[in-house]
Structure 1
């Protein structure tokens, strides 16, 4: 597969995550390309809308989930606005995969701590599913995720699925003022939730993605 040549993808499903964020499930139109495509958790691609341009996004799905890839994005510019107009059955382009990846095989036997804020859950999600699909290879799995408000939480269905699995510790929060009367989880900033959960650093790997200020206050808590 030529990673420099755009390949055609068909949109198989669309999920409106928030008012400005959506997830596309995409499949390669060419069966030969589909059969030869492979990637590692954490890699990214160039997604293109013909006549508008292309944008860089992580592959939000896990390599353990075959037959499709997923892309989550916010509508903030020309290309993403055009991507937001696309519907099931429409065609777009893809180049990749590119970039480094998370060394999931090296993490075998260790505890895993995933910490994310806002849309920063997208590149972490692929590793979470990768680990959950290979659950017996890892120790404790802790997922800590927060957003500005309940309305800004992405992957709501999956958050609930992870929480109910019984083999992962899931902790959720929204910023003060972002809660609703129905919200049953923490109301605080992500670093405060990390401090409360206090994941043990020994024999563990942590993957953190989110706004820079969240990361700056989170990393010292993991030392």
Structure 2
């Protein structure tokens, strides 16, 4: 029997990591109360889940952990409102519900054998982090071609997952280019928006799929740059996390034309989005 989609899995906060100096982005590691639920919760990078706090409510967040990281889930959350304020106040040991996994993941079968270009901006790097971890897992790395990552933030302090970024840059099977809008004295890497780095690197569109997630203004100019580089619309994959509420296509809050971001997405190709009303 299928699990009730309205019923969350009981979890507890196992660990909280502060990602930036402003302390308004935290990564929560959630452990399942029942080990059987950990095996039952089967997701792929690109999907999301609804987190719930008793007496407060629930909200959707992209899953930041890869399915290769077993026994727990990661969610990186920026403090922006009532629910996230309450979530940020919780300490390890606090109970929290996780309803999911939900939505359509990145097209992993199509991505096999392809070179991959991953472009992220700000705190919208969560599901991209999951994708990178999944690709780099020893059991998966040979299934994909080259991996080029461009990740930008306002300042070096606003870059998430700093230890992992350094580990990835030290590897030989992935290229990671970091860029910031405003650099401090210790910063020795790129300065400028992600599209500037993208234009400088000039990656080939041949045999390559591009995956982008970030603020709308970044996506707008990234699409222009990818078009100039020769990427066709069906080779550009976007993740839209907008207006979602119920997560199962019932409330209608996230619809774009006849499609629902929570159910038909949040992953779409640019070709798919061009067929929809320009509401994103």
Corresponding residue of 1:31: 35
Residue of structure 2 equivalent to 1:138: 144
Cα contact 1:44–1:56 (8 A) shared by 2: yes
How many Å apart are 1:31 and its aligned residue?
2.2
CA distance in 2, matches of 1:27, 1:87: 13
**Following TM superposition, by how much is the alpha carbon of 1:184 offset from its aligned partner in structure 2, in angstroms?**
1.0
Match of 1:8 among 3, 10, 24: 10
Q: Is the 8 A contact 1:3 1:97 kept in 2?
A: no
Stretches of structure 2 that go unaligned for 5 or more consecutive residues are 232-280
2:178 to 172, 182, 190: 172
Tell me, yes or no, if structure 1 residue 111 matches structure 2 residue 115.
yes
In the other structure, the counterpart of 1:186 is 190
User: 1:159 aligned to 2:165?
Assistant: yes
- The residue aligned with 1:73 is 77
Deviation for aligned residue 1:74:
0.4
Shift of 1:105: 2.3
Structure 2 CA distance, aligned partners of 1:83 and 1:8?
A: 15
Greater RCO between the two (CA within 8 Å, min separation 6)? 1
1:122 & 1:31 partners in 2: Cα distance? 24
Q: Residue 207 of structure 1: SS of its match in structure 2?
A: strand
Q: In the alignment, which of 16, 19, 33 is matched to residue 17 of structure 1? A: 19
Secondary structure at the counterpart of residue 165 of structure 1: coil
**How many pairs were matched up?**
221
Instruction: Determine the structure 2 residue equivalent to 1:209.
Output: 213
Report the TM-score when normalising by structure 1.
0.96
In structure 2, distance between residues paired with 1:166 and 1:88? 36
Taking the aligned partners of 2:130 and 2:153, their CA distance within structure 1 comes to 18
- Per the TM alignment, residue 99 of structure 1 is displaced from its structure 2 partner at its CA by 0.7
- Over residues 191-220 of structure 1, what are the superposed CA-to-partner deviations in whole Å (9 max), with x where a residue is unaligned? 111111111111011100111111111112
Q: Distance in 1 between matches of 2:71 and 2:36?
A: 12
Cα distance in 1, alignment partners of residues 173 and 166 from structure 2: 13
Does the 8 Å contact 1:45/1:95 carry over to 2?
Answer: yes
Give the TM-score normalised by the residue count of structure 2.
0.77
Considering fraction of residues, name the structure with more helix. Answer: 1
